[in-house]
Chain A
Amino acid sequence: MLRLEKLAKTYKTGDQALQAVDIEIPESQVLALIGPSGAGKSTLIRCINRLVEPTSGKVYLGDTELTRLSSGGLRRERRRMGMIFQEYALVERLTVMENVLSGRLGYVGFWRSFMRKFPQSDVDEAFRLLDRVDLAHMADKRADELSGGQRQRIGICRALIQNPALLLVDEPTASLDPKTSRQIMRLICELCRERRLAAIINIHDVALAQMFVQRVIGLRLGSVEFDGPPSGLTPEVLTSIYGEEDWEATIETVDDDDVATQ
């Protein structure tokens, strides 16, 4: 479904954020990307929808080579990739409804979007999604009136209303408390299962990743260090990704009842 071939990114400053990364993701697989800060996790997902232009290598979404597309073609393909951000990245001064509907911008012409005249089917879908994340009563609130967890759920709605095939998720829980973090991760994974979406989730909380995903990739200094099931994350593997540390506590925090609810 998504295939990265020798994807590399070197920033103008000379930092090699990614070095020839090869990853292939089948339909509807949820994958966690772990690694220390600066390992290139954010760069990797931004290179997929080309918010960051990769230096070399190829990205295929289905049969389309994203790295070769013109700006018009890229816009069309971006509609198939929903993105969820660390600090939610909602437009603070717009209402919840406007934020959700902004996920449809790729499908609607400029004047219709400017006059906020979205097709009724889009509005219906927005209400359905808001209802799904229990925020339908918030539709007319301004985005900056919501709490962190609520904002992130709006961010999820905005990504899903694009009707994507793939979700790119950048540290969805980094600004949230532990309980809300689990709820958000559970919501994302449930929605992926319901809609048979593939997802790449950047996350630095290893225990949280282990709870919810089928596959984990560990990045270190811009290259893949580990690729396997969550159960394969032994202390030795974590040491190879993050460096020397006592890992037993981290792995043990995987809560039994949380795993059972999956």
Chain B
Amino acid sequence: MMPTQDLAGSKIWQRRSGRESLFHWILWLLGIAIFAYCWQQISAATTWFFVWDAPRIADDIWTRATPPKWEYITQLGKPIWDTFNIATLGTIFALILAVPVAFLAARNTTPSRLFIRPVALLIIVSTRSINSLIWALLLIAIIGPGVFSGVVAIAIRSIGFCAKLLYEAIEEIDATQVEAISATGASRWQVMAYGIVPQVLPAFAGIAVFRWDINIRESTVLGLVGAGGIGLQLSSSLNVLAWPQVSLILLVILVAVVISEWVSAKVRGAII
């Protein structure tokens, strides 16, 4: 049944036909029933004593954590610098690897849609689907704890992200500019350098700073599993319940993230 009905000569228009709106109501009913059931299950599995107790504990930790232990800052310079380096080097390595993958994955530049494109897409999906913390755990087992494991973990995790955004940018380029360069008798690589690269360069720069900004945040926690950076300090402070140190570390991370966001916003603003 169509939304527009002919009733006694006058055309009646409704958003949905009768059957569609009935179906709609059933869907809503089903959704609410599922929500209620889940609520009940979660409620049964919760130890409510701990929840009621939570505000008191939080208040307790807050009083222990303030004021932050300011003199501890002298020991945080090196770790935050490591964190920054992990993010930056990881992003650079990721971009170097992501560019060829993106060109192999984009429909309009891949040498073979049937064989090579699926491989490139597999690389993108598999590197993207595993969190950098898990990559770090694996890599610490393989190459040992330290900053280098962190760099590699960040790099691997970022390949898929960068390659995916970049290949989407490549697929959206203006084809007639590429056509015009091909029509001059340019070779395949020249078409790439003159027809495609100038068109995706702004997208590339935007992706690079965006990912770098994300990586600063991701690399702050890598230390929790032993892959270097400020997370290492955070984890050891948490282990000895040194709350004033923890609060200072959180403040330092906050400042680092704000700075990276500011830089990436500035750079992206300058490009676009």
- A pairs with B: yes
Is A75 close to B, CB under 8 A?
Answer: yes
Q: Assess whether B187 is in contact with A114, with CB atoms less than 8 Å apart.
A: no
Interface residues in B, total, Cβ within 8 A: 21
Is A76 close to B, CB under 8 A?
Answer: yes
Q: Report how far A234 CA is from B83 CA in the complex, Å.
A: 78
Q: Assess whether B199 is in contact with A91, with CB atoms less than 8 Å apart.
A: yes
Partner of B194, one of A83, A87, A91, A168: A91
Given contacts A87-B176, A89-B176, contact A94 B185 (CB under 8 A): no
* Interface pick from A13-21, A98-106, A242-250: A98-106
- Range of interface residues on A (Cβ < 8 Å): 20 to 34
User: Cβ of A91: which chain B residues have Cβ within 8 Å of it?
Assistant: 177, 180-181, 194-195, 198-199
Q: Assess whether B185 is in contact with A75, with CB atoms less than 8 Å apart.
A: yes
For chain A residues 195-241, which have a beta carbon within 8 Å of chain B?
none
Q: Assess whether A90 is in contact with B187, with CB atoms less than 8 Å apart.
A: no
Partner of A162, one of B184, B193, B194: B184
For chain B residues 160-209, which have a beta carbon within 8 Å of chain A?
174, 176-177, 179-187, 189-190, 193-195, 198-199, 201-202
Q: Assess whether B184 is in contact with A79, with CB atoms less than 8 Å apart.
A: yes
Say whether chain B's binding surface is mostly helix, strand, loop, or mixed: helix
Given contacts A91-B198, A93-B199, A113-B194, contact A75 B186 (CB under 8 A): yes
Given contacts A105-B186, A106-B186, contact A89 B193 (CB under 8 A): no
User: Cβ of B193: which chain A residues have Cβ within 8 Å of it?
Assistant: 110, 113-114
For chain B residues 94-137, which have a beta carbon within 8 Å of chain A?
none
Is A127 close to B, CB under 8 A?
Answer: no
Is A43 close to B, CB under 8 A?
Answer: no
Instruction: Report the minimal beta-carbon distance from A106 to chain B, rounded to whole angstroms.
Output: 3
In the complex, residue of chain B having the shortest beta-carbon distance to the beta carbon of A76: B185
Q: Report how far A85 CA is from B179 CA in the complex, Å.
A: 10
Is A260 close to B, CB under 8 A?
Answer: no
Known: A87-B176, A94-B198. 12 other contacts (CB 8 A): A51-B182, A78-B183, A83-B184, A91-B195, A102-B194, A103-B184, A105-B184, A105-B190, A106-B185, A114-B193, A162-B185, A168-B183
Give the top 3 A-B pairs by smallest Cβ distance, nearest first. Answer: A106-B185, A105-B186, A78-B185
Interface residues of B (CB under 8 A from A): 174, 176-177, 179-187, 189-190, 193-195, 198-199, 201-202
